[in-house]
Each structure stands twice: as structure tokens, then as C-alpha cells.
Structure 1
């Protein structure tokens, strides 16, 4: 599978507990984690390219991925969804927000494709660690599962009923099986 160009803004809270950092391995490391996530998300975007709506097809993408603690995600969950407490993953799609009459953007360099901004994925590492055993995952597998879930949300997937949830989970399993060393993460 071919990946696509990806401008990734990656951050992992440096204050996360040392035990979580050890369990997550390189996926939380500022440098190695960036490279792992960049390669994985790029591959997933390449794998999904043929399924995307025309307005989401691009030679290059931009997105943010933040790995945070429960306090940070609970604040976002309250501010943006009106729900108290932490959740495992939040996805903020760029195409869902913004003023209708935004000022014109500067013209990009035609030699390089302008990345299509998808939005941001925020994952609580603490919640992921708690729920990973319930889902038959280690922490690394749970983080990948949640990232795939967030990415599909940024690309317009939703799970407003059981049929759409089943379809979304099946698509996540396919991404994980194809991009995580051939071993699907099970839910």
C-alpha cells in the first residue's frame, strides 16, 4: 500500500506516568513516535484514498495527533461535547468548522501539493490503558485502534446507529490488519 504525503503535528504529554510511557513504547516518544505515527497515518490515508468523497481526495494531508492524560481530554470533552469526564478519543474535523466567509488563503507553491487539512485527533493515553485489556489489546494496539477511529471520523465516518458502527469497526479492523504488521487488533 502506498502512503500519501502527510504533514503531521504530533504531541505526547511529557507529564504522562512513566509506566504508561513504558507500556506505549516508542509511540509516545517525541521523535520515534512522530515517525511511527506519520508512517502509519500516511499508509492508512493511502489505503482509504479510493473510498474518500471527492472533496477529501488529495495528494497531501495535514492533521494533528495529541496523546494526552484524562484531565486534558475531560476538559475538551466538556468544552466541545458538553459531557463530563474523560473519553478515549476525540476527533475535530476541520471541514466541520470555520466561518462561511473565511478570508482567502495565500496561494500555495505549485511545485508542492497543498495539504488538505483534516483536523485533529486527541487520545487519552490513561483511558486507553484502562480499556485495552477489555478489548484484548496492549496499550500500543489500543492507541492504534483509537487513532484509526479518530481518522475515520475526520474523513466523515460516523456511528449514529448499529449498522454504521459495525461498518466503521470493520473498516478499522481492515486498516489495522493491513498496517500493523498484519495482526489485527480485536475489539
Structure 2
């Protein structure tokens, strides 16, 4: 399977004490691809059938600041203030024609993950782990939302967090359980994604 990743880090900076490659396509494309491959190849893990069949998937990853994510949080979730990660899911109930398109070789669009770099910095400091760990944690959480995972109750949240920990483990970013953070971001509906996707992608970089 191939991944078409559209990454946008315009308008945000990472301070000199951190590796600037943390905001690069070269860092995140192979990680996201490995995570998607793991979920879709495991029959015991929930995954849309269209993703299991797809020869290619695409998604957007956008790094923003607290002001940027607060605006999205207010507009699409009617929640005031910043959050750490938002997921604009493009898939929900997959229509029959889309499953056929995947078989015929069309890329399947998963949606967009939006991460506040400001909040990621704070949460990494609060939980005494690196910004690299925090970004892997938040982005894995956002990806699972794009793949249909959700956490309406404690049981589903525990399952989702356990899978995130495993995803970090298989890409060499082990995060001890006592460092896990409960993300406050959430999954935004496909209808909202369709309304918002043009502005999310218009300044994206390859």
C-alpha cells in the first residue's frame, strides 16, 4: 500500500531545542504508513473494509498553534478554547461504489489530523516526556479516529489507548503507561470534513 501524505506546518515554528524534522513529511509518512498497515492487516482490529482493500490512501497532517486549533474547535465542535488534536474524518459508512473504486486502484481519502504544537509542548512538559513522544501519541490518536475508532466510554478509551501504545512501540517510540495522556481532541464528522477540507489543504506542502 502507498500513502499520499499532505503535510502543512506553515505558520508554526519549533524551538531550537527540538529537531526541526519533527514537522517534516519525511518523518511522518513512513510512520503513518506503518501504523495504517498494522491496523488494516490485523483482522482483530477494527478498520474500514475499503482501507483494507486500498492500494493507496491519502490523508492530511496539519500542525497549527493554539489559536488555530481553538478556531476549529469552536467552529466544528462548539467547544471553546484550544485542544491537542482534532480529526476530520472523511470515511464513515463507506458506500458500495467506494469499495469498488479501491479495488480498481483509486486512492482512499481518510481525512485530516490537526495538531496544536503549543498544546503538544505543554503536555510533553507536564508529563515529563519528549515532544517527539507527544506528537507520536497525538497523531496516532488522530489516525485511529480517521480509521473509525472512537472512545464514548472508558472501555473503548482503554482499548484505543492500548492500541496507541502498541503503535508507538512498533515504530520505536515506547511511551510508558504512566506517561499516557488522555487527549481531549475528538473526531469531527465526515460532513464537517467535506466542508472544511479545501481550506485545510490549500496551503499544504509535499
**TM band (smaller chain):** 0.7 to 0.9
Q: Where does residue 39 of structure 1 map in the other structure?
A: 30
Select the residue among 8, 13, 32 that pairs with 2:10.
13
Q: Does 1:159 align with 2:151?
A: yes
Structure 2 residue 113 is matched with structure 1 residue 121: yes
Structure number with the bigger relative contact order (C-alpha 8 A, sep ≥ 6) is 2
**Which structure 1 residue ranges, 5 or more long, are not aligned?**
none
Q: CA deviation at 1:59?
A: 2.0
8 Å contact 1:73–1:124 — kept in the other structure?
yes
Equivalent residue, structure 2, for 1:184: 174
1:31-180 counterparts in 2 under 5 A?
A: 33-50=24-41, 51=45, 52-57=47-52, 58-96=54-92, 113-179=105-171
| 1-structure distance, mates of 2:133, 2:19 | 9
**TM-score when normalising by structure 2:** 0.74
Q: Which secondary structure state, in structure 2, belongs to the residue aligned with residue 87 of structure 1?
A: coil
Cα distance in 2 for partners of 1:175, 1:45 equals 9
Contact 1:25 1:140 in 2 (8 A): no
Structure 2: unaligned runs, 5 residues or longer: 181-206
The equivalent of 2:188 in structure 1 is none
| TM-fit CA distance, 1:74 | 0.3
Aligned residue pairs total 166
Give the ranges of 4+ consecutive aligned residues of structure 1 lying more than 4 Å apart after TM superposition: none
Instruction: Tell me if the contact between 2:12 and 2:63 (Cα under 8 Å) persists in the aligned partners.
Output: no
Shift of residue 24 of structure 1? 4.7
